[in-house]
Chain A
């Protein structure tokens, strides 16, 4: 598909099916997320993208199917059999939300400290050493603060570390949510529409950030996105869903020219797509506007 040497899968989704009552939200979906790559999950509204995310991160239990997370050291985890918090704590899958879920009454720094909960909890000796104020815990907390400060610098929020997260502008909240997810030290980072509501400049910054996460943190990324300027520029590999089924899977170039994808988004024929370079914009808008599915809530 990418043509490169297969670097090995970090997440394998096999025959994933999710039914809510009579509605089949995801139908027999299989795909791979490769190690060290950015994988995009796209599709029209209601295609089941967020449902797939919720299965990967343990919030939903799949009706059938197998979700396997494989770390570089060979350890593997069956995500569909784990509680949601264990998916993050043990299998090290972190996620962000389509509608931002920050701890708005806590400071930016505190948000990042909460993300390092499990590490700090261990250092505090299940709170006993912490209550007694032993130095081991203080060192751990200083370390956690340093890590948080490092991430705040990377997402350009260092100066606002002591402000309430709820006071930040929208774009900054999106960045903070990514930084918070990264503070859990994930192997796979799942982003649900990270560019939604961002202006073009912020969108470009987001691209830089995600590329730097792939390069310097060696974290693989799976992202849902409607903004084609993000998807086509940074994704190594794209999976397209429609009505809960995979209709295309490959590099951005392959997906872009796949007639089934074009039909799903626009319902127009190939020649029109190829003749107009600005079609990418149209594609993203159509993805956001055409109501194609009866599944109302996407989360």
Chain B
């Protein structure tokens, strides 16, 4: 793409001055921060070490980032100026993203076994796959409240906690199995969602956000301090997931033995030798993986269905204009409560699953930062878009995990460089850059729920974000 008008002298000069300014600010920041280091010598004295290269690299990185952002902006302005205005249409990428991503999710564990072997399962399936999918599900659940109904909820992790504790406590006291506890945990979370919904019905925007934030903290503090009930900071153990009653262990009643028996039954019928499957811990991981895939897909399916129903349309209408909703005879109280309840229900399911995966529930997993991450996933993904939220969950959770693998940086910065210390810094900058590039999230079009002639995506300029 040629852009002669962009390389005029005034543009170059502006870029140069901007880069200079960035360099000066970066020097002021990184000069003392990275360029100087204090160390104790043998006589217990503090000595000042100069590390000019650290600072210079940081400054150059800032300048480069500035230039890249400017280049993107100029290119975008150029494209806007030259390209004829077209309605936002789903690109070919968007068309194949959902089925492609879905197939990938299903074959992902098999790919892991093929590429790294079963030893890679705890890391790549458990830490990556399952964790990301939990956040995908939480993102989709919160998307109902924030993305569709436009109600800003900063305490979503509370429902996740309620789901987890419901599972742990119900199985502890009543011996209920995971599959019985799962729906009950969801329903209990939904019930608490309605309970939270009542006092906040009249609140909007910032005020709603503060109350939901407080609710999240209350649940966390109750879990931490009500020792008789929740076990306090020490937590309580939750039973591991079972394959419909069959445990994943090496005992004669375990999953491996059962699978051997089933497979042997098949092989001997056809005249082959019976097979023996050796017990291995990764069967459970694989099962957990597919359980969370199914749970997350159920969330997506229900959300897609609800969006096309009057209740879903009422949620979106509520986000667009609450007063107009009431003037059309829509009971906004019920509409808000159903949004809270639906969102909380899926949060509760994810929580029960989390308890079964960990085998242990303690309050530390339900701090405010979790709510913030889930909300960031929804906002980053593009509010209301399922694919966007899934992509954002992969970027957020996968990104932070991938950044643990930064050992190659040691070749650049020397062996005493600790890349894990810079993980959150890199991550934060990445988020800032993404929000500059896509202010309304990855997917910034809204798909209509009904059409007469043809389905046209709606540009984000018209879609409101909701006021709480």
Contacts and interface: CB of A to CB of B under 8 A. Distances in A.
Binding between chains A and B: yes
Interface of A: 57, 59, 84-89, 94-95, 97, 101-107, 109-110, 113-118, 120-121, 124, 127, 130-131, 133, 137, 141, 145, 148-149, 152, 158-159, 161-167, 180-181, 184
- Sorted from nearest, which 3 A-B pairs have the closest CB atoms? A105-B463, A88-B329, A89-B329
Given A88-B329, A106-B448, 14 more contacts: A88-B326, A102-B320, A102-B321, A103-B324, A104-B464, A113-B450, A118-B330, A121-B311, A127-B306, A130-B305, A130-B308, A130-B309, A158-B452, A162-B448
B453 A104 contact: no
Contacts of A124: 309-311
A80 B62 CA distance: 63
B329 A184 contact: yes
Given A105-B320, A124-B310, A163-B456, A88 B448 contact: no
B142 to A, nearest CB: 19
Contact of B324 (A97, A149, A159): A97
Interface in B409-466: 446, 448-456, 458-459, 461-464
A32 B451 CA distance: 41
A166 B459 CA distance: 10
B452 A164 contact: no
Contacts of A113: 310, 313, 449-450
Contacts of A166: 461-462
Output the residue of B317, B338, B463 with the most chain A CB within 10 A: B317
Output the residue of A107, A109, A184 with the most chain B CB within 10 A: A107
Nearest to B384: A105
A120 B308 CA distance: 11
A105 B450 contact: no
Contacts of A137: 309
B462 A167 contact: yes
Contact of B452 (A57, A85, A162): A162
B383 to A, nearest CB: 11
B316 A106 contact: yes
Interface of B: 302, 305-306, 308-311, 313-314, 316-317, 319-321, 323-332, 338, 446, 448-456, 458-459, 461-464
Given A103-B316, A162-B452, A115 B463 contact: no
Contacts, number: 147
Given A101-B324, A104-B320, A180-B328, A114 B458 contact: no
A88 B314 CA distance: 15
A60 to B, nearest CB: 12
Contacts of B458: 105-107, 164
A162 B313 contact: no
B328 A105 contact: no
Contacts of A104: 320, 462-464
A114 B307 CA distance: 12
A115 to B, nearest CB: 5
A117 B310 contact: yes
A180 to B, nearest CB: 7
Contacts of A161: 451-453
A118 B323 contact: no
A286 to B, nearest CB: 30
B321 A85 contact: no
Contacts of A117: 310, 313-314, 328-330
Contacts of B305: 130-131, 133
B462 A118 contact: no
B456 A106 contact: no
A113 to B, nearest CB: 6
A104 B316 CA distance: 11
B328 to A, nearest CB: 5
Nearest to B327: A95
Output the residue of B309, B332, B461 with the most chain A CB within 10 A: B309
B329 A162 contact: no
A114 B314 contact: yes
Nearest to B331: A85
Nearest to A299: B323
A106 B320 contact: yes
A88 B330 CA distance: 8
B329 A85 contact: yes
A121 B451 contact: no
A101 B327 contact: yes
B448 A107 contact: yes
28 contacts: A59-B327, A85-B331, A85-B332, A86-B329, A88-B327, A88-B328, A89-B331, A97-B323, A102-B320, A103-B316, A103-B317, A105-B462, A109-B451, A109-B452, A110-B449, A113-B310, A115-B328, A117-B313, A124-B309, A124-B311, A127-B338, A130-B309, A131-B305, A149-B452, A161-B451, A164-B462, A184-B328, A184-B329
Nearest to A166: B462
Contacts of A130: 305, 308-311
A94 B321 CA distance: 16
Contacts of A181: 327-328
Contacts of B331: 85, 89
Contacts of B330: 85, 114, 117-118
Nearest to B320: A103
Nearest to A105: B463
B309 A127 contact: yes
B321 A101 contact: yes
A56 B371 CA distance: 42
Contacts of A114: 310, 313-314, 317, 325, 328, 330
Contacts of A101: 321, 323-324, 327
Given A85-B332, A88-B327, A101-B324, A131 B462 contact: no
Nearest to B312: A127
Nearest to B335: A117
Contact of A84 (B306, B326, B448): B326
Contact of B311 (A84, A87, A127, A165): A127
Contacts of A148: 452
Contacts of A94: 327-328
B451 A162 contact: yes
B450 A118 contact: no
A152 B451 CA distance: 13
A57 B454 CA distance: 36
Contacts of A180: 328
A131 B328 contact: no
